[in-house]
Chain A
Amino acid sequence: MRNFKSFKEDFPIFKNVINFTYLDSTATSLKPQTVISKLVEYYSKYSANIFRGVYKISEEATKEYEETRTVVADFINAKTENEIIFTRNATESLNLIAYSLGREILEKGDEIITTVMEHHSNFVPWQQLAFENGAVLKVINIDDDGYLDVRLEKVITKKTKILALTYVSNVLGTINPIKEITASAKKINPNIIVIVDAAQAVPHMKVDVQDLGGDFLVFSSHKMLGPTGVGVMWGKENLLESMFPFMYGGEMISEVYLDKTVFKGPPHKFEAGTPSIGEVIGFKEAIKYLKTIGMDNVRRHEKYLTLKCIQTLKSRFGKNMTIFGPADIENKGGVIAFNFGKYHPHDIASILDEDGVAVRAGHHCAMPLHNRLGVDATVRASFYIYNDENDIEKLVKGLEKVKKTLG
C-alpha cells in the first residue's frame, strides 16, 4: 500500500493550481494522469467511431470501448457485461429507468417510494412520473441523526412498483443498509423493483450488485476519477431485455424496414447514437487506478479523514459548529455538511476560496432534505484519496478567518 500522501503526485492539477485544497469531490473528482493520458491516446491514436468501421483504428476503438464494459462489470460484480449500459451520467441513467421501465409498469394508483435524502436526480424523475401516470409518490423520512426510517412495512404495499433510494447521501453522508432494505422490501412485495443511486457509493467503497440484491444501480464516471460524459446504468439482464429503448437511432438497431424496426438486445439497445467514446475508454483507467489502491483502503482512508475532521471541527468551534448526518463513522461516507455560527454558507465558501480551499455551499441538489433539516443551505466538505490531514488544517484555518472577517 502506498502512503496516501503520495497520491497527490498522480493528479496534475495539484502542479498546475498552486495552493489548492480540494474538498468538493462529492460534486466531481479530480483526474489522475493515467486517465488524462488515455484520453489523449484515444484522440491522438485511434479516434474513430465504434462499430461502424472495418478499418484498423475503428476496430481498436471498439475493442477499447467494449473493454471498459468488462472492467465495469467486474468492478461491481455484474453477472455479464451485457448488464452494463453507458449513459451520460447517473442522472441520465435514472431518467432512462423512469422512462423505459417506469412509464410502462406504473398504473393509476400504483406507488413509487423514494426518500427525503435523495439528490434531485433520484427524486424529480419519480415525482414527475407519478404525476404523469397517476401514481402515488411516497417519501421515506429520516430521523434527527440522518438515518432512514427503515420500517418498510409502513410504506410498502402490494401496489408499490418501485423503490428508488440512494446508497450514500451526498449531504449527510449516511450509508444506507441497501442489502437489508432490498431484502425486506422484496419480502413484503416480491415484485418491487429496487433502484439504487450509487453515485456516492461506487467511487468510495466496494459495491457488489449481486450481493446487494437490487434490480438497478447507477453511478457517474466523473465522481470516481474518470472523465465527464459517462454514466453507468447496471440492470438485471431479464429486466433490460423486457424494457423499451430510451432513444432511437444508430447503433441500437439490428434491422430497419419501412414498416418496422428490430432492436438489438442490451446493452446496445440503450446506447443510441455515437457515445462518449474517448471518455468511456478513459474511464477504465480510473477503475484500474482505484483497484490498485483497493476500495477497502479508499474507504479506510476516507473514514480516517472524516472522523478526524469532525473531531477537529467540534473541538475548535464547539457549539458554533452544527454537523449534519450520522455521528457514527461506520455509517457515514466522506461527506461533512455543516453550518458555522451565524455565517451564511456562501460567505463561508467565498472566504475559504480566498485561500484556495474549495468547498460547496447551497442545498447540493437536495432541497427536500434541506427543508427536512430546517435549513436553507449548508457548507459541504468532502474527501477522496488525494486528501490528507493538511486539508483539514486548511479548512479549520479558513473557518477561523471567516470568524475574523465577518465578526
Chain B
Amino acid sequence: MSIYSELILDHYQHPRNFGIIVNPTLKSFVSNPLCGDEIEVAIKIEKGKVAEIKFQGRGCAISLAAASMLTEFLKGKPKEQLKKINKEHMIKMLGIELGVNRIKCALLPLEALKKL
C-alpha cells in the first residue's frame, strides 16, 4: 500500500496550523541534515491548555503531513499532553506503514516537541 494515503496527501497539500506565533510560550527547532528537513514548532499556553500551536519549515510530504496532524491533534489539549504523546501515537495517527528510513521523517515533528 502507498504511504501517500488520502489523509497524508490532504495534510501535505493543505497543512493545518502552518505559520508563526508572535509571542509563543514555547518554541523549538529541529532539522535532519540528511535530507535538509527543518521544522519549527511554536506553542502558546493559556490556562494550562495548548491555546495555539503552529509549525513552519520545509520537508518531505511525510514530515509536513506529520507536523500538520500533530498540531491539529494537540490544539486545545491540556498542556500535559505535550509530554505524553509518543512514537506509537504518531504512527497510529498517520495510519501508514513506514520503513526504517522514512519513519525518521514522520517522527521529526515529535522530536521538536520533545525538545520544547
* C-alpha spacing A405/B4, complex, angstroms: 8
Contacts of A344 in B (CB 8 A): 35, 37, 59-61
**Nearest-CB distance from B66 to chain A (Å)?**
13
Given the interface contacts A362-B35, A407-B13, does A346 sit within 8 Å of B60 by beta carbon?
yes
Contact check, B105 vs A346: say whether CB atoms are below 8 A apart. yes
Contact check, B62 vs A405: say whether CB atoms are below 8 A apart. no
Given the interface contacts A350-B102, A405-B9, A406-B61, does A345 sit within 8 Å of B4 by beta carbon?
no
Contact check, A346 vs B35: say whether CB atoms are below 8 A apart. yes
Scan residues 46-73 of chain A and give those whose CB is less than 8 A from a CB of chain B. Answer: none
* C-alpha spacing A377/B35, complex, angstroms: 5
Does A347 have its Cβ within 8 Å of any Cβ on chain B?
A: yes
Contact check, A347 vs B2: say whether CB atoms are below 8 A apart. no
Given the interface contacts A406-B9, A407-B13, does A347 sit within 8 Å of B61 by beta carbon?
yes
* C-alpha spacing A46/B36, complex, angstroms: 49
B-side interface residues, number (CB < 8 Å): 17
Does A361 have its Cβ within 8 Å of any Cβ on chain B?
A: yes
Contact residues on A (Cβ < 8 Å of other chain), bracket: 10 to 19
> Can you name the residue of chain B whose Cβ is closest to the Cβ of A345?
B35
Contact check, A346 vs B62: say whether CB atoms are below 8 A apart. yes
* C-alpha spacing A294/B55, complex, angstroms: 55
* C-alpha spacing A376/B63, complex, angstroms: 15
Contacts of B59 in A (CB 8 A): 344
Of A350, A351, A363, A375, the contact of B34 (CB 8 Å cutoff): A363
Does A259 have its Cβ within 8 Å of any Cβ on chain B?
A: no
Contacts of A362 in B (CB 8 A): 34-35
Contacts of A351 in B (CB 8 A): 2, 4
> Can you name the residue of chain B whose Cβ is closest to the Cβ of A353?
B99
Contact check, B36 vs A376: say whether CB atoms are below 8 A apart. yes
> Can you name the residue of chain A whose Cβ is closest to the Cβ of B59?
A344
> Can you name the residue of chain B whose Cβ is closest to the Cβ of A406?
B61
**Nearest-CB distance from A53 to chain B (Å)?**
42
* C-alpha spacing A33/B95, complex, angstroms: 41
Does B91 have its Cβ within 8 Å of any Cβ on chain A?
A: no
Does A367 have its Cβ within 8 Å of any Cβ on chain B?
A: yes
Contact check, A347 vs B60: say whether CB atoms are below 8 A apart. yes
Contact check, B60 vs A367: say whether CB atoms are below 8 A apart. no
Contact check, B3 vs A350: say whether CB atoms are below 8 A apart. yes
* C-alpha spacing A126/B88, complex, angstroms: 42
Does A255 have its Cβ within 8 Å of any Cβ on chain B?
A: no
* C-alpha spacing A297/B103, complex, angstroms: 41
Contacts of B37 in A (CB 8 A): 344, 376
Contact check, B2 vs A354: say whether CB atoms are below 8 A apart. yes
Contacts of A375 in B (CB 8 A): 36
* C-alpha spacing A367/B35, complex, angstroms: 10
Contact check, B36 vs A377: say whether CB atoms are below 8 A apart. yes
**Nearest-CB distance from A357 to chain B (Å)?**
14
**Nearest-CB distance from B2 to chain A (Å)?**
6
> Can you name the residue of chain B whose Cβ is closest to the Cβ of A363?
B34
* C-alpha spacing A356/B102, complex, angstroms: 17
**Nearest-CB distance from B65 to chain A (Å)?**
10
Of A347, A367, A407, the contact of B33 (CB 8 Å cutoff): A367
**Nearest-CB distance from B28 to chain A (Å)?**
20
Scan residues 42-100 of chain B and give those whose CB is less than 8 A from a CB of chain A. Answer: 59-62
Scan residues 332-385 of chain A and give those whose CB is less than 8 A from a CB of chain B. Answer: 344-347, 350-351, 354, 361-363, 367, 375-377
CB-defined interface of B14-31 with A at 8 Å, one 1/0 digit per residue? 000000000000000000
Point out which of A345, A347, A406 has the most chain B C-beta atoms below 10 A from its C-beta.
A347
Contact check, A376 vs B35: say whether CB atoms are below 8 A apart. yes
* C-alpha spacing A338/B112, complex, angstroms: 30
**Nearest-CB distance from B36 to chain A (Å)?**
2
* C-alpha spacing A58/B2, complex, angstroms: 52
Contact check, A361 vs B35: say whether CB atoms are below 8 A apart. yes
Q: Which 8 A-B pairs have the closest CB atoms?
A: A376-B36, A344-B60, A346-B60, A347-B61, A377-B35, A347-B60, A405-B4, A377-B36
8 contacts between A and B (CB under 8 A): A347-B4, A347-B62, A351-B2, A363-B35, A376-B35, A376-B37, A377-B34, A407-B13
- For the A-B complex with A345-B60, A376-B35, A406-B4 known, give 13 more contacts whose Cβ atoms are closer than 8 Å: A344-B59, A344-B60, A346-B60, A346-B102, A361-B35, A363-B35, A363-B36, A376-B36, A405-B2, A405-B4, A406-B12, A407-B9, A407-B13
